[in-house]
A and B are shown apart, each in its own frame.
Chain A
Amino acid sequence: MTVLSSPRPDQTEGVLRLNQPLRLDSGQMLREVDIAYCTYGHLNADRSNAVLICHALTGDQYVASTNPTTGRPGWWPVMVGPGRTFDTDRYFIISTNVLGGCMGSTGPSSIDPDTGEPWGLSFPVITIADMARAQAMLISQLGVETLFCVAGGSMGGMQALEWARAYPDRMYACVLLATAPRHSAQNIAFHEVGRQAIMADPDWRGGDYAKLGVRPEKGLAVARMAAHITYLSEPALQRKFGRELQRDGLSWGFDADFQVESYLRHQGAAFVDRFDANSYLYITRALDYFDLAQSAGGRLADALSPAADVRFCVLSFSSDWLYPTSESRVIVRALNAAGARASFVEIESDKGHDAFLLDEPVMRDALNGFLDAAGAARGL
């Protein structure tokens, strides 16, 4: 099944069926795997200018084009486009919807070919490595052997790290933003709150809601509300909302009196329109299982030693408490120990984890310098 369309001459979007079954870390095989993707710009004659941009937990392949579900611009337009840091006049940008996602790639809401019904919880548990493996197969099928760069923030950074561990010969540079080499106890704890909220919703129906024509919207909205707090920072929340009220005076009840409550409710409500609850369970599980060092007996430097020839740019944000700077330092020290060429800077920002999605001039300048130098060395 290949669906191709071109919203603009330099953009394509489509869904590609992987030409082989996908072997999963769990030991299971997925026979039929579709990966939805978008591309921006043109592949050069040497096929050396391709860049893979990996999305975060609730992102998708619409990195720089209108998301058809929401009708809103892509999730990273400040960084991807003509003349931008990830310059579509210069690079051939590929972005995919992760395995387990709900924007066209195979996931728990897809149809199980054996039963003809949505997978639900019979979908196998997947990992970050499984996501990267599916991306690597897709990229081969698109005719690209080696990527100039693999880039991502948050969970996207974890996919990029996994690429560096597993496919270092297929990449030249790696950009890791606001990410971590493993999930911490606190990361897992917040995800567990989200999953329990979904599973506590009566409409979740043991994961079979799709077969029964209902959706656990309340549970998914609560999961999003809790998670959304972790993407912001205390000072930013305080500055934006403080104790401001929605209306004059208190309601003396449980309406959204405070602006911050109203804001979170809006975030939850908007999220359920575009995201699948089971996908949220599977992808958060993949994040919790992520521990890059595990494959190398717990030594991160050993896991990354095959990537000694890859150029890395690691950026963290000072107010990010989801994947704090200390996690980026762990990555950087391991890269130094592995002998890789690493750059790292902590960017001063009070915007929390989501700072990497925003227009941060320091991030832009650092990445422009990094990509220009790598591009020059690569002959781009």
Chain B
Amino acid sequence: MHTGNGHQMVQPLYAADREDFREIVRLVRPGARVLDVGCGSGELLQLLRDEKQIDGRGIEIGAEGVSACLAKGLAVIQGDADRDLAEYPPMSFDYAILSQTLQAVRAPKEVLSNLLRLAERAIVSFPNFGHWRVRMSLVTTGRMPDTRSLPIPWYETPNIHLCTLRDFTELCAELNLRIEASSAVSATAPARSINCQSAMENWRSESALFLLSRKSAATPPTHRPGDLFA
């Protein structure tokens, strides 16, 4: 159980009340083809289906999650981000979503590359290890951070590749990915558009959400940088 239950890591709320989900719903174009990697029990796919009439598919590692998805009529396969992305043909989706899961995969770089191979755009969110609470927790206690967004002790956490906002933007540059939009998100507070290069935001953002595309993508971006409401 590592890459699959990203959605369950945030406290249980009704899906429609989750601010990070609301932000994803805002970003996704109506009627789009969407792959949600680590889709949990399918709350986000359901929300996208109901509000944006998407053609959705999901990948989830836990059998209970997949069964719950099937019972909701969603098309979901049991699998994980590290092993099951390679088979999808290039550009078979408009969006690939990796919500609060990147930090739990074995090979984040390959997973990111794969997401932007099989989809025109990727929506990726992760807990920011550069957030002030994390830094303070480590500095003051000398222990692995125990915070709202990272509540699980080090020996039980599924998170094996944590990163900061700065780490992530540097990886995007290395992979030649265009950051079309970025925002600070949390489960309970409305999303806030951010300048992801800012050192200040690396302190302030508890979790970050990115809309990414390939710089070499043949199709021009429909979202202007920073414009989350296009």
Contact = CB atoms under 8 A, between A and B. Distances in A.
Interface residues of B, number: 20
A333 B75 contact: no
A376 interface: yes
Contacts of B71: 365-366, 368-369
B137 interface: no
A344 B63 contact: no
A345 B66 contact: yes
B72 interface: yes
Interface stretch (A68-76, A151-159, A236-244, A334-342): A334-342
A343 B63 CA distance: 12
A155 to B, nearest CB: 23
Contacts of B92: 339
A37 interface: no
A124 B135 CA distance: 75
Chain B: interface secondary structure? mixed
A332 B77 contact: yes
Contacts of B84: 333, 336
Contacts of A365: 67, 70-71
A376 B75 CA distance: 14
A362 interface: yes
B63 A345 contact: yes
A345 B67 contact: yes
A337 B73 contact: no
A145 interface: no
Chain A: interface secondary structure? helix
A112 B204 CA distance: 83
A311 B75 contact: yes
Given A366-B70, A369-B71, A344 B87 contact: no
Contacts of A339: 89, 92
Contacts of B69: 343, 369
A225 B81 CA distance: 42
A10 B111 CA distance: 52
A62 B155 CA distance: 54
A87 interface: no
Contact of B77 (A337, A344, A369, A370): A344
A345 B69 CA distance: 10
Nearest to B85: A336
A336 B89 CA distance: 8
B60 to A, nearest CB: 9
B65 to A, nearest CB: 9
Interface in A41-99: none
Nearest to A311: B75
Contacts of B193: none
A313 B63 contact: no
A348 interface: yes
B73 A369 contact: yes
Highest count of chain B CB atoms <10 Å: which of A333, A336, A341? A336
B57 interface: yes
A359 interface: no
Interface in A350-379: 362, 365-370, 372-373, 376
A369 B70 contact: yes
Contacts of A334: 87
A336 B70 contact: no
B154 interface: no
A348 B74 CA distance: 20
Contact of B87 (A337, A368, A372): A337
A313 B73 CA distance: 11
Contacts of B79: 329, 332, 344
Interface string B20-64: 000000000000000000000000000000000000010000010
B78 interface: yes
Nearest to A347: B63
Interface string B88-109: 1100100000000000000000
A169 interface: no
Given A333-B87, A337-B87, A337-B88, A343 B67 contact: no
B76 interface: yes
Contacts of A345: 63, 66-67, 70, 76-78
Contacts of B74: 343, 369, 373
A234 interface: no
22 contacts: A311-B75, A314-B77, A332-B79, A333-B84, A336-B88, A337-B87, A341-B75, A342-B77, A343-B69, A343-B75, A345-B76, A345-B78, A346-B78, A362-B63, A366-B70, A366-B71, A368-B71, A369-B70, A370-B70, A370-B73, A372-B73, A376-B73
Shortest Cβ-Cβ A-B pairs, 5 listed: A373-B73, A369-B71, A344-B77, A366-B70, A345-B66
